[in-house]
Structure 1
């Protein structure tokens, strides 16, 4: 199953990498616009975003919109080979290299527990199964939140072309509640 997932990951990331830069920017802006109406929350809700790496959807415009609507933002930070935590992302806070090729708040930022998580991914299917980047960071982080009695809403963020017919699921996989692409928000469970 790991080999099958690796092949799907490679295929989807290759397709995503092939999206021309201008088109990727336009699709990212469309996703931000659609997210404005699709992602409902109360002011003060803690929402985790992410800084884009490689050819990921650039959700910085979406995060700016969420902040303007009262969300408290946080970003993932890699602590070690097994662990990410989510640090509060304040408007003027400097960002530092935080592992896995991304940027995030430094160690002075508070560690928080997100209530809504915008989740990067390599591939997804119609059942809400996702393939990440192979490190299991998000699965473990979500398991830690569940162990604390917290059940964050999980919204995958991807381009339409990252959808596959079927993602092979393993027992440790955690399913998405929804996926947001340039076609809109697709709910998998209420």
Structure 2
């Protein structure tokens, strides 16, 4: 679902990014379950105040796993508002298919060979192109910098999503969900990297100029 593999197929690993990922994951892994849930609740409170989410009819989101900031409170609040929430399902080539979220019963655990178990939509698959109809895309990540450049886990799944949006001339709001300490001054960036419009953390929202 979220960039769980090694570097994007066909692209060499960036040693600076790899080192940063290890450092950031080490910090995350010190968090307790209570820390993660508290952060997720605070983050949801801020995210729900975003004008982009207030007027959105379709939001592409994700189910957090492990030490990621918890997203279930946000997913449930969006669903309760009547928003169509799309969640990703990881394909064998690391691309993402999508399905609709309709509450706890609409999720199933899927074990991907060599990777962690992910919670994915249990219903019909809508195809990778479904994301192009979203008004907002909520992105996972490990960090974002002052220019809005996001550091993912390195699997390339969301690189493909962003490239698909660009090819379709789709322009949803791109919002990354992180912990406060993961907003940094500068990250190493490559030509294919695309900036996000905003980051939401447990303490607030920060917007970026993207054009």
> TM-score, structure 1 length as denominator?
0.90
Superposition map of 1:1-190 within 5 A: 2-41=14-53, 45-91=57-103, 92-97=105-110, 99=112, 101=116, 102-106=118-122, 108-111=124-127, 112-113=130-131, 114-189=134-209
Preserved contact between residue 82 and residue 137 of structure 1 (Cα < 8 Å)? yes
Secondary structure of residue in 1 paired with 2:48: helix
Preserved contact between residue 31 and residue 182 of structure 1 (Cα < 8 Å)? yes
Task: Measure the CA separation in 2 of the matches of 1:41 and 1:30.
Answer: 16
- Higher mean displacement: 137-146 or 31-40: 31-40
Q: Say how many residue pairs are matched.
A: 190
Secondary structure of residue in 1 paired with 2:77: helix
Preserved contact between residue 78 and residue 98 of structure 1 (Cα < 8 Å)? no
Q: Alignment RMSD, CA only? A: 2.0
- Higher mean displacement: 75-84 or 33-42: 33-42
Extract structure 1 runs of 4+ deviating beyond 6 A.
none
Name stretches of at least 5 consecutive residues in structure 1 with no aligned partner: none
Task: Measure the CA separation in 1 of the matches of 2:125 and 2:160.
Answer: 21
1:149-187 per-residue CA deviation (whole Å, 9 max, x = no partner) reads 212211000101222221111000011110000111111
Preserved contact between residue 130 and residue 176 of structure 1 (Cα < 8 Å)? yes
Name stretches of at least 5 consecutive residues in structure 2 with no aligned partner: 1-12
Preserved contact between residue 8 and residue 123 of structure 1 (Cα < 8 Å)? no
Task: Measure the CA separation in 2 of the matches of 1:115 and 1:146.
Answer: 14
